[in-house]
Structure 1
Amino acid sequence: MSVRAYGAIAAHQPVEPITIPRRDVGEHDVQIEIDYCGICHSDLHTVRGEWGEVRFPCVPGHEIVGRVSKVGSAVSRFKEGDVVGVGCMVDSCQHCHPCEEGLEQYCENGMTGTYDSKTPDAPGHTLGGYSQRIVVKDSFVLKITHDASQLAAVAPLLCAGITTWSPLRHWNVGPGKKVGIVGIGGLGHMGVKLAHALGAHVVAFTTSESKRQAALDLGADEVVISKDKDQMKAHGRSFDFILNTVAASHNLDAFTKLLKLDGTLCLVGVPEHAHPSPSVGVLIGGRRSIAGSLIGGIKETQEMLDFCAEKGITSDIELIRADQIEEAYERMLKSDVKYRFVIDNSTL
């Protein structure tokens, strides 16, 4: 079948209306009519060829919310009309150690991304959520129980939400823990919301004084202007965990020095240019760690969605039409959004 989509046919060209194929529904598949799709920084980097070779046509989008329109004969968890989501993955090998542990994002044989990953289906690679419809294996489809009025704002949870939730849970963030969130953007604003909801004492780090009140409104207990050396020094050796969402090269020592004994700085943003080498002495002197984290597995993504539905947590979004995607990309590069763009797919 063919469906309408927005995608690029070459790295130097903007996204535009195109028609793409979708496979027939197999016995373990779920067909989804897409209502909303969030826009992620990785969409922009990929579609413009900034992260290496891209398979074209490229249809981005891995923050998908929609309704089931058809299920395969072996599917029992979903039925027509169910509200569901699809995140950054649509398949993995299912038999390596990470997959068996429910950590499909670390699949040793390579997980299949929602877009720009090789697949036997035409056109030979996956095509994402900037489209009317998608067909996904049932084990990679997620149940959404938020109120219908919140569905557009749920979409970014499928990437921005789980990217922050997974490390917060892995490092046992909760009551009695002092947690820092570096950067108040698409990822960082979700990090603040989730860490606060988990019961931690949350300190937001930003380079901009103008974001102080916004960070407090999101749930931060304190806000530190990271360019102010005195404000930073006042928090020395006091953090259990710091989640760094910034995707630009910067000095990590400024944050590792704030960790207490056995504290961890976790990176979830990939900079265009490498960070300056961190001081080994700072790490050794406090048995501190610098770690990284990649999205989350299907089980923990479902856990995150259920937690957010229970707590009434969504992303702060700006809803746009499909013909505004390129404008949204340019605004996103200028950080001119609070905090995530979401496409109304009915405008396709």
Structure 2
Amino acid sequence: MSNKAKGYAAHSADSPLVPFEFERRDLRADDVQIEILYSGVCHSDLHTVHNDWGATQYPVVPGHEIVGRVIAVGDKVKNFKAGDVVGVGCMVDSCRECEPCHEHEEQFCENGVTMTYDSDDRHDGTRTYGGYSNQIIVSEAFVLRVPENLDLSAVPPILCAGVIVWSPLNLYKVGKGSKVAVVGLGGVGHMAVKIAAALGAEVTVLDIAASKEADAKRLGATHFVLSNDPEQLKTVANTFDLVLDIVPVKHDITPFVETLKLKGTLVIIGLIGLAPEFSTVPLMFGRRAVVGTMIGGTKETQEVLDFCGKHNVVSDVEIIKMSEINEAYVRMAKGDVKYRFVIDMQNSF
């Protein structure tokens, strides 16, 4: 395959994604060239396209949940060969020299991580283009090995929605006997339920929609609590070791902090930018903690892929063609998907 790529790009905040042809860079010595088979659709793609965070540079080719097959490698690549099934997540480079990078926490790179799309390549300054395309070229240090026993079309969300919940579940040593609550059952939340349950935790879903109870239990939750019902919340006071709060809008987290056990932790995953509202009283009278997190590094991303391979955990997905992306964005904004869209790139161009 040549370096001529076909994809879909947005050219402004209020225009639809349209076909876009561009050149991928020449293969560097440590690069892996990947034919993209499937690309997940993340809510952050929608935010970036609409410039909701105020920093998008156009044209932008989104997509940071990529599964594909290696078609070429650079002269110094040691870990991959043509034919390997691989993944690329939210990052494609970092400084590799700071403390977070040495600890495989590249998402916290002190010199600025290079994101898979809409970021500046740290070597030549060109803009990165993402997975809404038929191929990509990435340094092997940011390429992940995908377990081939999994349904590859359902793997892409693991590379973002999966690792963002795996990271705190791993950090706080969730396992058999742990009690975990997931606040908000959506694209990320459903992966949190699946992975926490596979780790052996007793999982409770807290959500405002009673209609989600059956799905929550199908996905692996033991209990379901209406989060907008104070009486129901009282039944789980002082219960959880870990609460994963995936609600993406500003809200009062005090009722969820009160569900934590002594020394329990609430992890903010869904809310970016706006400070959450909460009372410090339940923090101080229970030595509870509220922390934030962001995706995961290359080590954790490989760990969650391996774990999902071992336990046969994948995302619940709806497969679409690239030409259907604008309709998918409208539906995603309405929450009309169970639970993630994945683009079939093999049948899109």
- Please, what TM-score do these two structures have when normalized by structure 2? 0.97
* Equivalent of 1:43 in 22, 40, 45: 45
Q: Distance in 1 between matches of 2:61 and 2:91?
A: 14
Q: Give the 3 Å change call, closer, same or farther, for CA 224–146 of structure 1 in structure 2.
A: farther
Partners of 1:247 and 1:272 within 8 A in 2 = no
- Determine helix, strand or coil for the equivalent of 1:286: coil
Q: Deviations over 1:181-226 (max 9, x none)?
A: 1111010000000000001111111111100000000000111111
Q: Which residue of 2 aligns with 1:76?
A: 78
RMSD between superposed Cα atoms in Å? 1.3
CA contact (8 A) 1:25 1:72 kept: yes
Name the aligned partner's letter for residue 341 of structure 2: F
Q: Give distance in 2, aligned partners of 1:245 and 1:185.
A: 8
Instruction: Give, in angstroms, the shift of residue 170 of structure 1.
Output: 0.6
- TM-fit CA distance, 1:147: 2.5
Letter in 1 for 2:267: C
Superposition deviation, residue 121 in structure 1: 7.1
What residue is the counterpart of 2:338 in the other structure? 338
1:211 maps to a residue whose letter is K
Residue 301 of structure 1 is matched in structure 2 by 301
Q: Which residue of 2 aligns with 1:17?
A: 19
Partner in structure 1 of residue 112 of structure 2: 110
The answer for unaligned runs of 5 or more in structure 2 is none
Question: Against the structure 1 CA distance between its residues 311 and 262, is the aligned structure 2 distance closer, same or farther, given a 3 Å change threshold?
Answer: same
Q: Which amino acid aligns with 1:100?
A: H
Q: Is the Cα–Cα contact under 8 Å of residues 114 and 122 in structure 2 kept in the other structure?
A: no
Q: Is the 8 A contact 1:193 1:218 kept in 2?
A: yes
Partners of 1:281 and 1:92 in 2: CA distance: 39
Aligned twin of 1:170 = 171
Provide the residue aligned with 1:158 in structure 2: 159
Offset at 1:270? 2.2
Corresponding letter in the other structure for 2:127:
H
Is the 8 Å Cα contact of residues 68 and 85 (structure 2) preserved in structure 1?
A: yes
Q: 1:96 aligns with which of 95, 98, 108?
A: 98
Moved over 6 A (4+): none
The match for 2:32 is 30
3-state DSSP of counterpart to 2:5: strand
SS where residue 69 of structure 1 aligns? strand
Taking the aligned partners of 2:126 and 2:261, their CA distance within structure 1 comes to 49
What is the alpha-carbon distance in structure 1 between the residues aligned to residue 183 and residue 80 of structure 2? Answer: 38
Question: 1:243 is paired with a residue of what secondary structure?
Answer: strand
**Deviation for aligned residue 1:124:** 2.0
Describe the superposition over 1:137-159 as per-residue Cα deviations: whole angstroms up to 9, x where unpaired.
001000011326x0010011000
Q: Secondary structure at the match of 2:118?
A: coil
Q: Which amino acid aligns with 2:97?
A: H
Q: Give the count of matched residue pairs.
A: 346
Q: Deviations over 1:26-80 (max 9, x none)?
A: 1100000000000000000001111112111100000000000000111110000
Distance 1:243 1:272 in 2: 17
Residues 48-59 of structure 1: pairs in structure 2 closer than 5 A? 48-59=50-61
C-alpha deviation, 1:9, in angstroms: 1.3
1:292-331 alignment runs, 5 A limit: 292-331=292-331
Q: Deviations over 1:95-139 (max 9, x none)?
A: 101111111111111110000111267882110000011000001
Structure 1 residue 274, shift from structure 2 partner: 3.9
Once residues 345 and 128 of structure 1 are traced to their aligned partners in structure 2, the CA distance between those partners, rounded to angstroms, is: 13
